[in-house]
Structure 1
Amino acid sequence: MAGAIGEHWENEHFAPAPGFTPGEGGVRKQLFDSYAASVDWTDHDHVTRALRVFESMLRRLGRESRKYGGDGLPADTVADLREAFARDGCRLDDELRLHTARVAHLVVHADALSRGEAQGRFARMGDHDGCSVSGRLAHQLGRPAALAGCSAAGAARRYGAT
């Protein structure tokens, strides 16, 4: 799966952030974080492309689960992801496709976060115990699906680092 993580990001023309210092977590989470750190959350194009990365990863995880006899992503995981995406103006449909209604909201939210005006949901990843879409996705890639549901750092604290 680690190779697929890089492939999804690189398909959208992202590269790992230069000088990225890995934090907590396993190889897949650290790889995901290195690419996510290169996203300029104040740039509309970057946000749009990052959302496509998230969608393609979610869809792949669903396909992989069904390929091996599962029912796709667990319903509680999808519900948590839908809730997190909805807070940032996105809708995750039944086919795990993302629909954005307010991408500008994401840009404004990310800009506010970069100024330290708010605690993060989407753009801040892994430095609090709250929920974040990107943290959930990173956690999903590095842990069993049943454990997904909180920020990467919160997950590492809650379930132990991978």
Structure 2
Amino acid sequence: MTQPARELVNLRAREAVRDVMSGTLLRDIDDMWQDELFAPPAEDPEPVGGQRVTRFQGYLDQVDWTDPGHVARAIRVFEVAIRPVFFHPDTPEWDPSDLIERIRRLFARDGYTIDESGRFSGGRSIVLQSADLADLRDTTVILEHLERIEHAVVRDDPALAIGSAKELVESTAKLVLRERDQEFDSGYDLPKLVKLAEESLHLHPAQNRQDPDGTQTIRKVLGAALTITSGIAELRNDYGTGHGRDTAPTGLGPRHARLAVNAARLWCQFMLDTLGDPKAPWQKTATNPASGQEQPTPESADAKL
């Protein structure tokens, strides 16, 4: 059963920004959303306060809070929306410090930090969506690593995120090999597992093929992706979890964690996309149980006649 996609910004945080809009002009609310290419709502939703707060809610309702692209644009809207709170002149009538602290606390639940000027950074690090794994026989181990990486970045643990990114690549390679009924030794290191997995899907840049994946351009990108997986392994050896060390690594920050996580995503996503693509070149061959060699399927053989 596919797990429901997880919202990237919690409801209370969204409402906290919305409620700031009571003193904002309707025209300004429209501008801040439409500047980020959100269409105006066909009609305002059921009232959730005054007209301005309700208008803002209408835009909130149009955001897919599970889509990283939608959320990134909405966060830029939030920066504009809360700017007056951060730059409000000191007056005895209103002290915004408690409101700012509450907004920061609510967004921290999803890994965001808000600096002194109201700029957002961070957020949940999403490697793969659960839906990408729906057609595979055993996704438990991949989903486990997704959860570990997400928590590692949220709680600002770059070493754990880097270690988990390496494990995600390793688990994805093993999953691909199992799906392709390819034998492998549990002691194989990451570069060997990655090489075998790529070869099993006809993706290794050294393989000479007459299909789109064999073009010089695609092979160049695949070669870079292969290099990235080796870099993740080395990064994990130097900084990540999984090896005993006398002192904790220093100097790492969330940007290093995201570097490792996004690098892992590049390779894992393409491997899983290829594994699940019914038109991928590897689908046109089948393994001969007697010889262990891949041979053209009857469909692909007929195509050559």
Q: TM-score range by the shorter chain?
A: 0.5 to 0.7
Whose Rg is larger?
A: 2
Distance 2:51 2:40 in 1: 13
The question of whether the paired residues in 1 share the 8 Å contact of 2:44 and 2:54 is answered with no
Letter in 2 for 1:36: L
Partner of 1:37: 61
The 5 Å alignment of 1:2-151 reads 2-18=26-42, 20-63=44-87, 65-66=88-89, 70=91, 74-104=96-126
**RMSD across aligned C-alpha pairs, in angstroms?**
2.6
Corresponding residue SS for 1:96: coil
Letter in 2 for 1:50: A
Q: Which has the higher contact order (CA 8 A, sep 6+)?
A: 1
Shift of 1:19: 5.1
Distance 1:27 1:43, change over 3 A: same
1:29-62 Cα shifts (integer Å, max 9, x gaps): 1110011111111211100000110011111343
Distance 1:78 1:5 in 2: 20
The question of whether the paired residues in 1 share the 8 Å contact of 2:29 and 2:56 is answered with yes
Shift of 1:95: 1.2
Q: What is the number of residues matched between the two proteins?
A: 104
Shift of 1:74: 0.9
Shift of 1:101: 3.9
1:2-41 Cα shifts (integer Å, max 9, x gaps): 2111111111111233355323310111110011111111
Distance 2:91 2:39 in 1: 32
The question of whether the paired residues in 2 share the 8 Å contact of 1:48 and 1:103 is answered with no
The question of whether the paired residues in 1 share the 8 Å contact of 2:43 and 2:58 is answered with no
Distance 1:42 1:10, change over 3 A: same
Letter in 2 for 1:3: R
The question of whether the paired residues in 2 share the 8 Å contact of 1:61 and 1:73 is answered with no
Identity %: 35
Structure 2 length as normaliser, TM-score? 0.31
Letter in 2 for 1:6: D
Q: Structure 1 stretches of 5 or more lacking a match?
A: 109-162
